[in-house]
Amino acid sequence: MEIPEDSLFGVDNLPYGVFAPAGDALRVGVRVADKVIDLAAALEDPVFAQPNLNALLAQGPRRWREVRHRVRELVDGEIDATAIHELAAVRLALPIQVGDYVDFYASIDHATNLGRLFRPDAEPLLPNWRHLPVGYHGRAGTVVVSGTDVVRPRGQRRTDSGTPDFGPSRRLDIETELGFVVGVGSALGTPIGVDEFADHVFGVALVNDWSARDIQAWEYQPLGPFLGKSFATSLSAWVTPLAALEKARIPIPEQTPEPLPYLRGDEPRGLDIDLTVTWNGQDVAHPPYRRMYWSPAQMLAHLTANGASTRTGDLFASGTISGPEPEQRGSFIELSWGGSQPVDVNGEKRTFLADGDEVVITATAPGPHGNRIGLGEVAGRIRPSNGR
C-alpha cells in the first residue's frame, strides 16, 4: 500500500473501526492513510465479520498484539485489492457495543476554572478533588458515533422567580475528552490495580460529552449530572490501540498530597496528546492532554476500587481536557468564561452552541520515528429541539 510520508495514519498507527461498504454489512477494519482494510477478508477470521469490535477486544492483549503484527505485515507486503476500500466510500459505525459509560473530571485546569466560575469567593477545588478521580456514571445508550447530529435537549431551567421553567437548553456546550475502551472485563468484587491497566484497556478514542449547562446547573445538586449530560455523547469512529501510543506515554504532573496506596504504582502515567477544537470551521482551542492530573490507570483503579465489575466494551472518559491558558480550554463555558467573554467565531461573537453549529475535535500524538499519529475526529452538528 502506498502511504504518504506525512500521513497521520501510517503503519505506526493502525486504528480499528467498524465500517460497511456500499450495500454491504458492517465489519471490522483498520485505517491506513485514506483507505480501510477489511480484516474479515484480509485475515479470513470470522471475529472481524462482526458489527463491533467487542469480539476482538474480549480476546485480550496477546491476541491484540498478534493481530497488530499481522496487519503490519500485510501493509508492508501485499493485500488482495478486494480487501481495500476508499475511506470516503464507506459508512462508519459506532466501533464498540458500549457496556457501561463513566465520565471523569480529571483536569485540574478545568476543575479550577469551573470552581472559579461557580464559587468565586471560595477555594476553586473541592476538598476531595486532589484525593480521588471524581466521576459520574453516564448513559451508555446515548453514546453515538462521530457525525451523528445532536438534538438540542430539553429540561428544567432555573429562573429568577425561584420556580423553574421547562424548555430547550440555552447554554448547550461541548466537553473535549479522551475515552478509554475496556477490552478484558473484571469480575464483580475484584478491583483492577493501577499496574493492571494495560491488561484490561484496549485503546483510546476521542469523546465529546455534550453538556446542557443550564439544565445541569439546576439539577446537579445533590446527586450530580443527569439530564444535562445524558442526551448525547459522541465517540470517534476509530479506536487507537495503546500499542500505537508508546511514545506518547509521559509522567503525570506531581500529585499533592500523595494519593492513597490503591492509586499508586508504576503505571500512573499520562499521554502527550494535542487536541484541536474547531467551531463552524474555525479553530478555537488547543487543549493539551499532558496536563491531566489523574492518569487513565488511576481512573480505572478508582472506578473498580469498590468491587464494581467491568465488561468488554465499557467506556470511561477523562472529563474535559483544559490547560492553564485561555486558548487551551476544552469547553465553551470556559472559553467564554461563563458567557461573559464571547468568542470570535468567523467574525461573530459567540458563547454557547446555536442550532446548526458544528463542532469537530481532532488530536495527534507522537509516533515512534519523530512523526505524528492521528486519533481521527469526533464531530457533531446541533439540530433544533423536537420536544413538546
160 annotated as belonging to a binding site for a ligand: no
Count CA atoms closer than 13 A to 208's CA, side-chain side. Answer: 36
CA 18, CA 23: separation in Å to the nearest integer? 15
Contact criterion met (CB below 8 Å) for 366 and 274: no
* Bridge partner list, 380: 359
* Bridge partner list, 343: 350
355 annotated as belonging to a binding site for a ligand: no
Q: What DSSP designation does 253 have?
A: P
Please state, in angstroms and as integers, the Cα–Cα distance from residue 36 to each residue in 17, 44, 148, 251, following that order.
9, 16, 20, 34
**Any idea which residue has 492532554 for its cell?**
289
**First-to-final CA distance of the chain:** 53
CA 66, CA 81: separation in Å to the nearest integer? 23
In the annotation, is 110 catalytic?
yes
CA 310, CA 144: separation in Å to the nearest integer? 20
233 annotated as belonging to a binding site for a ligand: yes
For residue 341, give the C-alpha cell.
467573554
Q: Is 381 helix (H, G, I), strand (E, B) or coil?
A: strand
For residue 225, give the C-alpha cell.
449530572
Q: What DSSP designation does 166 have?
A: E
Contact criterion met (CB below 8 Å) for 356 and 381: yes
Q: What DSSP designation does 367 have?
A: -
| Sign of the alpha-carbon torsion through 185, 301, 68, 177 | positive
Short-list 385, 379, 384, CA closest to 174: 379
CA 361, CA 289: separation in Å to the nearest integer? 13
229 annotated as belonging to a binding site for a ligand: yes
209 annotated as belonging to a binding site for a ligand: yes
For the chain, count helices (H), then strands (E).
8, 26
Instruction: Determine which one of 85, 110, 200, 302 is catalytic.
Output: 110
177 annotated as belonging to a binding site for a ligand: yes
Contact criterion met (CB below 8 Å) for 170 and 159: no
Contact criterion met (CB below 8 Å) for 235 and 207: yes
CA 189, CA 309: separation in Å to the nearest integer? 7
Residues belonging to the binding site for Ca(2+) are 103, 175, 177, 209
Annotated binding site for Mg(2+): 209, 229, 233
Q: Which residues are catalytic?
A: 110
State the binding site for substrate: 105, 119, 216, 220, 320
Q: Please state the residue numbers annotated as binding site.
A: 103, 105, 119, 175, 177, 209, 216, 220, 229, 233, 320
